[in-house]
Amino acid sequence: MRIIPAIDIIDGKCVRLSKGDYDTKIIYNENPLEVAKSFEAHGIEYLHLVDLDGAKSSRIVNYKILEQIATQTSLKIDFGGGLKSDDDLRIAFESGANQITGGSIAVKNRAIFEKWISEYGTEKIILGADAKDEKIAVSGWLEESNEDLIPFIQDYQSKGIQYVICTDIAKDGMLQGPSFDLYKKILAEAEGVKLIASGGISTFDELPKLAELGCEGTIIGKAIYEGRITLKQLENYIIGL
């Protein structure tokens, strides 16, 4: 299972929110590049970079930070937050993203998201399926839609989507453990999906459980920043100790 630490950006700084609420912002580091380099130094190969300013303003904002991390580390970066137009996508890939995650756009403008899947290929485009009570949430989780989570994923699988990041918003940033039951359900019903678990990871012991369920990757945020999971533990997990 791939280990994918998260860096969320507001005003150029590395922050974390709880349940997607901007009022709960905690700044963990003024320098996201420094954080990315510390991940790389511990054998981590992947990064989930979220432009929270972008998510709020519906256009890419923090692409300079993406470019900095992409040019000064060898991390494979999946970038999301505010990608709404062909231009946003072009900027993200030109700035060094390996993959992009589309969440709100996949709900609000299916035509453009489906076009991206066919233009860029399923290795490059990740479906962001963020849910509250098994309903898809959009716009940096500021809005709920009436889309049911699993049919939403299945529908996009029929359009070729392979990678899906699923965050249970009720768990995000709460350090109370991930939604094992929800992931189990998705993996059973959306056959063949490469599911990346996100939200609520709080202890190292949860990682083997997610791997056992069949998750392809897991995104870890606050647990790293709060010292609940150390980079050394992740390094040992990656090299198979």
> How many angstroms separate the CA atoms of 235 and 233, rounded?
5
pLDDT at 173 over 90: no
Which of 51, 53, 88, 130 does the annotation list as catalytic?
130
Q: Which of 8-12, 17-21, 60-64, 148-152 has the lowest mean pLDDT?
A: 17-21
pLDDT at 207 over 60: yes
Alpha helices by DSSP H, listed for the chain, are: 32-41, 52-57, 63-72, 86-94, 104-108, 110-120, 149-157, 180-189, 206-213, 222-225, 231-238
Active site annotation includes 11: no
Q: What is the pTM of this model?
A: 0.94
- Across the chain, mean pLDDT equals 94
Q: Please give the pLDDT value at position 141.
A: 57
DSSP string over 138-149: ETTTTEEEEEEH
* 2-238 CATH: 3.20.20.70
Q: Please give the pLDDT value at position 168.
A: 87
Q: Of 153, 124, 132, 122, which is closest to residue 199 (Cα–Cα)?
A: 132
In sequence order, what are the beta bridge partners of 135?
A: 132, 148
Active site annotation includes 78: no
Helix (H/G/I), strand (E/B), else coil: 15: strand
Q: Residue 57 contacts by C-beta under 8 Å, 6 or more apart in sequence?
A: 82
